[in-house]
Amino acid sequence: MAPWAEAELSALNPLRAVWLTLTAAFLLTLLLQLLPPGLLPGCAIFQDLIRYGKTKCGEPPRPAACRAFDVPKRYFSHFYIISVLWNGFLLWCLSQSLFLGAPFPSWLHGLLRILGAAQFQGGELALSAFLVLVFLWLHSIRRLFECLYVSVFSNVMIHIVQYCFGLVYYVLVGLTVLSQVPMDGRNAYVTGKNVLMQARWFHILGMMMFIWSSAHQYKCHVILGNLRKNKAGVVIHCNHRIPFGDWFEYVSSPNYLAELMIYVSMAVTFGFHNFTWWLVVTNVFFSQALSAFLSHQFYKSKFVSYPKHRKAFLPFLF
Protein backbone atom coordinates (compact mmCIF):
# COMPACT_ATOMS: atom_id res chain seq x y z
CA MET A 1 0.00 0.00 0.00
CA ALA A 2 1.26 3.48 -0.81
CA PRO A 3 2.59 5.52 2.15
CA TRP A 4 -0.01 8.25 1.65
CA ALA A 5 -2.82 5.69 1.75
CA GLU A 6 -1.47 4.19 4.97
CA ALA A 7 -1.31 7.66 6.49
CA GLU A 8 -4.92 8.35 5.52
CA LEU A 9 -6.08 5.09 7.08
CA SER A 10 -4.17 5.90 10.23
CA ALA A 11 -5.75 9.35 10.37
CA LEU A 12 -9.22 7.81 10.20
CA ASN A 13 -8.89 5.39 13.11
CA PRO A 14 -11.97 4.89 15.34
CA LEU A 15 -10.60 6.85 18.31
CA ARG A 16 -9.95 9.94 16.24
CA ALA A 17 -13.36 9.61 14.62
CA VAL A 18 -15.05 9.50 18.04
CA TRP A 19 -13.21 12.57 19.35
CA LEU A 20 -13.79 14.45 16.11
CA THR A 21 -17.52 13.68 16.27
CA LEU A 22 -17.77 14.81 19.89
CA THR A 23 -15.85 17.99 19.10
CA ALA A 24 -18.15 18.81 16.19
CA ALA A 25 -21.24 18.16 18.34
CA PHE A 26 -20.09 20.49 21.13
CA LEU A 27 -18.99 23.16 18.65
CA LEU A 28 -22.37 23.09 16.89
CA THR A 29 -24.21 23.26 20.21
CA LEU A 30 -22.11 26.21 21.36
CA LEU A 31 -22.74 28.07 18.09
CA LEU A 32 -26.48 27.47 18.46
CA GLN A 33 -26.38 28.97 21.96
CA LEU A 34 -24.62 32.06 20.60
CA LEU A 35 -27.49 32.77 18.20
CA PRO A 36 -29.91 35.61 19.02
CA PRO A 37 -32.64 34.43 21.45
CA GLY A 38 -35.31 34.41 18.75
CA LEU A 39 -33.29 31.98 16.63
CA LEU A 40 -32.21 29.71 19.49
CA PRO A 41 -33.69 26.19 19.32
CA GLY A 42 -36.51 26.04 21.85
CA CYS A 43 -36.79 22.25 22.04
CA ALA A 44 -37.04 21.36 25.72
CA ILE A 45 -35.26 18.04 25.27
CA PHE A 46 -32.35 19.70 23.45
CA GLN A 47 -31.93 22.30 26.18
CA ASP A 48 -32.25 19.64 28.85
CA LEU A 49 -29.44 17.59 27.30
CA ILE A 50 -26.95 20.46 27.17
CA ARG A 51 -27.67 22.03 30.57
CA TYR A 52 -26.98 20.65 34.01
CA GLY A 53 -26.99 21.80 37.59
CA LYS A 54 -27.92 25.42 38.15
CA THR A 55 -28.28 26.13 34.41
CA LYS A 56 -31.33 23.82 34.36
CA CYS A 57 -33.10 26.17 36.74
CA GLY A 58 -35.24 28.97 35.38
CA GLU A 59 -38.44 29.76 33.58
CA PRO A 60 -40.51 28.21 32.18
CA PRO A 61 -40.43 25.11 34.41
CA ARG A 62 -39.03 21.99 32.81
CA PRO A 63 -41.60 19.48 31.48
CA ALA A 64 -42.34 16.45 33.63
CA ALA A 65 -41.08 14.22 30.79
CA CYS A 66 -37.64 15.81 31.17
CA ARG A 67 -37.60 15.65 34.96
CA ALA A 68 -38.25 11.90 34.79
CA PHE A 69 -34.68 11.39 33.53
CA ASP A 70 -32.99 13.45 36.26
CA VAL A 71 -30.23 12.16 38.51
CA PRO A 72 -28.57 14.26 41.25
CA LYS A 73 -25.56 16.34 40.23
CA ARG A 74 -23.72 14.96 43.26
CA TYR A 75 -23.42 11.75 41.24
CA PHE A 76 -20.46 13.50 39.57
CA SER A 77 -18.39 11.59 42.12
CA HIS A 78 -19.25 8.36 40.27
CA PHE A 79 -17.31 9.61 37.24
CA TYR A 80 -14.14 9.90 39.28
CA ILE A 81 -14.64 6.61 41.11
CA ILE A 82 -14.78 4.90 37.71
CA SER A 83 -11.77 6.90 36.50
CA VAL A 84 -9.65 6.13 39.57
CA LEU A 85 -10.37 2.41 39.26
CA TRP A 86 -10.21 2.06 35.47
CA ASN A 87 -7.31 4.39 34.74
CA GLY A 88 -5.50 3.06 37.80
CA PHE A 89 -5.80 -0.40 36.23
CA LEU A 90 -4.52 0.89 32.88
CA LEU A 91 -1.62 2.61 34.64
CA TRP A 92 -0.78 -0.63 36.44
CA CYS A 93 -0.80 -2.56 33.13
CA LEU A 94 1.42 0.03 31.46
CA SER A 95 3.83 0.12 34.42
CA GLN A 96 4.10 -3.67 34.36
CA SER A 97 4.91 -3.58 30.65
CA LEU A 98 7.36 -0.67 30.75
CA PHE A 99 9.32 -1.61 33.84
CA LEU A 100 8.91 -5.38 34.15
CA GLY A 101 8.39 -6.41 30.52
CA ALA A 102 4.98 -7.97 31.17
CA PRO A 103 2.65 -8.09 28.15
CA PHE A 104 -0.72 -6.34 28.15
CA PRO A 105 -3.71 -8.63 28.76
CA SER A 106 -4.84 -10.07 25.44
CA TRP A 107 -8.35 -8.58 25.75
CA LEU A 108 -6.94 -5.11 26.43
CA HIS A 109 -4.49 -5.36 23.56
CA GLY A 110 -7.30 -6.49 21.27
CA LEU A 111 -9.48 -3.59 22.38
CA LEU A 112 -6.69 -1.11 21.69
CA ARG A 113 -6.21 -2.55 18.21
CA ILE A 114 -9.94 -2.23 17.49
CA LEU A 115 -9.83 1.42 18.57
CA GLY A 116 -6.97 2.11 16.21
CA ALA A 117 -3.76 1.65 18.20
CA ALA A 118 -1.01 0.77 15.74
CA GLN A 119 2.10 -1.38 16.01
CA PHE A 120 4.70 1.36 15.76
CA GLN A 121 7.92 2.49 17.34
CA GLY A 122 9.06 5.99 17.98
CA GLY A 123 10.35 8.85 20.03
CA GLU A 124 9.41 9.52 23.63
CA LEU A 125 5.81 8.30 23.35
CA ALA A 126 6.19 5.51 25.92
CA LEU A 127 7.28 7.87 28.70
CA SER A 128 4.87 10.57 27.51
CA ALA A 129 1.89 8.22 27.67
CA PHE A 130 3.00 6.93 31.08
CA LEU A 131 3.21 10.47 32.50
CA VAL A 132 -0.13 11.51 30.97
CA LEU A 133 -1.81 8.43 32.43
CA VAL A 134 -0.30 9.30 35.82
CA PHE A 135 -1.63 12.87 35.46
CA LEU A 136 -5.08 11.60 34.51
CA TRP A 137 -5.16 9.25 37.49
CA LEU A 138 -3.99 11.93 39.94
CA HIS A 139 -6.52 14.37 38.46
CA SER A 140 -9.31 11.86 39.06
CA ILE A 141 -8.20 11.23 42.65
CA ARG A 142 -8.19 14.96 43.39
CA ARG A 143 -11.58 15.53 41.77
CA LEU A 144 -13.04 12.61 43.72
CA PHE A 145 -11.68 14.13 46.94
CA GLU A 146 -13.20 17.50 45.99
CA CYS A 147 -16.60 15.94 45.24
CA LEU A 148 -16.62 14.18 48.60
CA TYR A 149 -15.05 16.79 50.89
CA VAL A 150 -14.83 20.22 49.20
CA SER A 151 -17.83 20.80 46.95
CA VAL A 152 -21.29 21.41 48.39
CA PHE A 153 -23.96 20.07 46.06
CA SER A 154 -27.50 21.35 46.19
CA ASN A 155 -30.50 19.40 44.91
CA VAL A 156 -29.82 20.34 41.27
CA MET A 157 -29.89 17.63 38.62
CA ILE A 158 -28.19 16.28 35.53
CA HIS A 159 -29.78 14.28 32.73
CA ILE A 160 -29.30 10.52 32.72
CA VAL A 161 -27.68 10.81 29.27
CA GLN A 162 -25.12 13.26 30.69
CA TYR A 163 -24.51 10.86 33.56
CA CYS A 164 -23.88 7.91 31.23
CA PHE A 165 -21.66 10.07 29.01
CA GLY A 166 -19.57 11.04 32.04
CA LEU A 167 -19.08 7.39 33.00
CA VAL A 168 -17.97 6.43 29.49
CA TYR A 169 -15.85 9.55 29.02
CA TYR A 170 -13.07 8.69 31.48
CA VAL A 171 -12.91 5.12 30.24
CA LEU A 172 -12.44 6.41 26.70
CA VAL A 173 -9.86 9.02 27.74
CA GLY A 174 -7.73 6.38 29.46
CA LEU A 175 -7.88 4.11 26.43
CA THR A 176 -6.92 7.06 24.23
CA VAL A 177 -3.78 7.65 26.29
CA LEU A 178 -2.84 3.99 26.31
CA SER A 179 -3.37 3.71 22.55
CA GLN A 180 -0.51 6.18 22.05
CA VAL A 181 2.06 3.81 23.54
CA PRO A 182 4.43 2.33 20.92
CA MET A 183 3.74 -1.40 20.76
CA ASP A 184 5.79 -4.45 19.88
CA GLY A 185 3.22 -7.23 19.81
CA ARG A 186 1.51 -7.16 23.22
CA ASN A 187 4.40 -5.31 24.86
CA ALA A 188 5.13 -1.61 25.13
CA TYR A 189 8.10 -0.69 22.97
CA VAL A 190 10.84 1.28 24.73
CA THR A 191 13.54 3.09 22.78
CA GLY A 192 16.84 2.31 24.55
CA LYS A 193 17.35 0.25 27.67
CA ASN A 194 15.40 2.41 30.12
CA VAL A 195 12.17 4.31 29.65
CA LEU A 196 13.48 7.11 31.89
CA MET A 197 16.17 7.79 29.28
CA GLN A 198 13.37 9.18 27.11
CA ALA A 199 12.91 12.17 29.45
CA ARG A 200 12.80 15.48 27.56
CA TRP A 201 12.25 19.14 28.40
CA PHE A 202 8.58 19.05 27.40
CA HIS A 203 7.90 16.35 30.01
CA ILE A 204 9.08 18.75 32.71
CA LEU A 205 7.12 21.66 31.20
CA GLY A 206 3.98 19.54 30.97
CA MET A 207 4.35 18.44 34.59
CA MET A 208 4.74 22.05 35.77
CA MET A 209 1.67 23.13 33.78
CA PHE A 210 -0.33 20.22 35.19
CA ILE A 211 0.52 21.12 38.79
CA TRP A 212 -0.18 24.82 38.17
CA SER A 213 -3.55 24.17 36.51
CA SER A 214 -4.60 21.61 39.11
CA ALA A 215 -3.74 23.98 41.97
CA HIS A 216 -5.90 26.73 40.46
CA GLN A 217 -8.80 24.36 39.84
CA TYR A 218 -8.62 23.20 43.45
CA LYS A 219 -8.61 26.83 44.67
CA CYS A 220 -11.69 27.59 42.56
CA HIS A 221 -13.60 24.60 43.92
CA VAL A 222 -12.66 25.61 47.47
CA ILE A 223 -13.96 29.14 46.81
CA LEU A 224 -17.25 27.75 45.45
CA GLY A 225 -17.62 25.36 48.36
CA ASN A 226 -16.89 28.06 50.93
CA LEU A 227 -19.76 30.19 49.57
CA ARG A 228 -22.11 27.72 51.25
CA LYS A 229 -20.19 27.30 54.52
CA ASN A 230 -19.59 29.41 57.60
CA LYS A 231 -16.14 30.23 58.96
CA ALA A 232 -16.11 26.95 60.84
CA GLY A 233 -16.56 25.02 57.59
CA VAL A 234 -20.14 23.99 58.31
CA VAL A 235 -22.61 24.01 55.40
CA ILE A 236 -25.30 26.59 56.17
CA HIS A 237 -27.16 26.88 52.86
CA CYS A 238 -27.16 25.78 49.22
CA ASN A 239 -27.91 29.11 47.59
CA HIS A 240 -25.90 30.57 44.73
CA ARG A 241 -23.71 33.60 45.39
CA ILE A 242 -21.18 35.56 43.34
CA PRO A 243 -17.73 34.01 43.77
CA PHE A 244 -14.63 36.20 44.07
CA GLY A 245 -10.91 35.50 44.21
CA ASP A 246 -8.26 33.76 42.11
CA TRP A 247 -9.35 33.33 38.46
CA PHE A 248 -12.93 34.29 39.35
CA GLU A 249 -11.75 37.88 38.96
CA TYR A 250 -11.47 37.25 35.21
CA VAL A 251 -14.02 34.58 34.23
CA SER A 252 -17.26 33.13 35.57
CA SER A 253 -16.09 29.51 35.35
CA PRO A 254 -12.35 29.33 36.07
CA ASN A 255 -12.74 25.69 37.09
CA TYR A 256 -13.67 24.94 33.47
CA LEU A 257 -10.73 27.01 32.22
CA ALA A 258 -8.41 25.10 34.55
CA GLU A 259 -9.82 21.82 33.21
CA LEU A 260 -8.86 22.91 29.71
CA MET A 261 -5.36 23.89 30.87
CA ILE A 262 -4.92 20.48 32.52
CA TYR A 263 -5.60 18.78 29.18
CA VAL A 264 -3.31 21.24 27.40
CA SER A 265 -0.57 20.30 29.88
CA MET A 266 -1.03 16.68 28.80
CA ALA A 267 -0.70 17.73 25.15
CA VAL A 268 2.58 19.43 26.06
CA THR A 269 3.70 16.22 27.80
CA PHE A 270 3.02 14.36 24.56
CA GLY A 271 5.51 16.70 22.89
CA PHE A 272 3.01 19.14 21.32
CA HIS A 273 2.53 17.07 18.15
CA ASN A 274 0.15 14.25 19.13
CA PHE A 275 -2.80 14.77 16.79
CA THR A 276 -5.11 12.34 18.60
CA TRP A 277 -4.63 14.10 21.92
CA TRP A 278 -5.17 17.54 20.37
CA LEU A 279 -8.58 16.24 19.25
CA VAL A 280 -9.27 15.42 22.91
CA VAL A 281 -8.14 18.93 23.91
CA THR A 282 -10.36 20.51 21.26
CA ASN A 283 -13.32 18.49 22.53
CA VAL A 284 -12.60 19.67 26.08
CA PHE A 285 -12.32 23.26 24.85
CA PHE A 286 -15.77 23.36 23.25
CA SER A 287 -17.52 21.29 25.94
CA GLN A 288 -16.12 23.46 28.74
CA ALA A 289 -16.79 26.66 26.76
CA LEU A 290 -20.43 25.61 26.37
CA SER A 291 -20.81 24.91 30.10
CA ALA A 292 -19.04 28.17 30.97
CA PHE A 293 -21.26 30.20 28.63
CA LEU A 294 -24.45 28.73 30.14
CA SER A 295 -23.13 29.34 33.64
CA HIS A 296 -22.22 32.94 32.73
CA GLN A 297 -25.76 33.51 31.47
CA PHE A 298 -27.15 32.15 34.73
CA TYR A 299 -25.03 34.47 36.88
CA LYS A 300 -25.89 37.54 34.80
CA SER A 301 -29.62 36.77 34.92
CA LYS A 302 -29.64 36.08 38.67
CA PHE A 303 -27.40 38.90 39.94
CA VAL A 304 -27.95 42.50 38.80
CA SER A 305 -24.62 43.46 40.39
CA TYR A 306 -22.65 40.74 38.61
CA PRO A 307 -19.20 42.12 37.55
CA LYS A 308 -19.53 43.39 33.99
CA HIS A 309 -15.84 42.97 33.16
CA ARG A 310 -15.97 39.24 33.87
CA LYS A 311 -15.99 36.96 30.82
CA ALA A 312 -17.48 33.48 30.62
CA PHE A 313 -14.48 31.27 29.84
CA LEU A 314 -11.42 33.01 28.37
CA PRO A 315 -10.09 36.12 30.16
CA PHE A 316 -10.75 39.34 28.17
CA LEU A 317 -12.03 37.34 25.15
CA PHE A 318 -15.09 35.14 25.71
Question: Mind listing the pLDDT tens digit for each residue in 55-110?
Answer: 877 656 777 777 788 899 999 999 999 999 999 999 999 999 998 889 999 999 99
Residue 121: what pLDDT? 55
CA distance 313 to 290: 9
Provide the sign of the torsion angle of the four alpha carbons 278, 284, 287, 291, taken in this order: negative
Structural contact between residues 275 and 218, judged by C-beta atoms closer than 8 angstroms: no
- Cα 138 to chain centroid distance, Å, stands at 13
Helix (H) or strand (E) holding 188: strand 187-188
Tell me how crowded residue 234 is: count the other CB atoms within 10 A of its CB: 8
Q: What integer is the mean pLDDT of 217-231?
A: 95
Residue 193: what pLDDT? 65
Nearest to 238 by CA among 227, 253, 252: 227
Structural contact between residues 116 and 183, judged by C-beta atoms closer than 8 angstroms: no
> What would the pLDDT profile of 119-168 be if each residue is shown by its tens digit?
565 556 889 999 999 999 999 999 999 999 999 998 888 989 999 999 99
Q: What integer is the mean pLDDT of 18-32?
A: 95
> What would the pLDDT profile of 156-212 be if each residue is shown by its tens digit?
889 899 999 999 999 999 999 999 988 878 888 776 667 888 889 999 999 999 999
Residue 43: what pLDDT? 73
User: pLDDT grade, residue 4 (50/70/90)?
Assistant: very low
The amino acid present at 281, given as its one-letter code, is V
**What pTM did the predictor assign?**
0.92
Per-residue pLDDT at 309 exceeds 90: yes
Give the start-to-end residue ranges of the domains of the chain.
51-56+65-198, 200-317
Helix, strand, coil % over all residues of the chain, rounded to 5: 65, 5, 30
Structural contact between residues 140 and 212, judged by C-beta atoms closer than 8 angstroms: no
CA distance 271 to 286: 22
User: pLDDT grade, residue 241 (50/70/90)?
Assistant: very high
User: pLDDT grade, residue 7 (50/70/90)?
Assistant: very low
Q: What integer is the mean pLDDT of 2-21?
A: 68
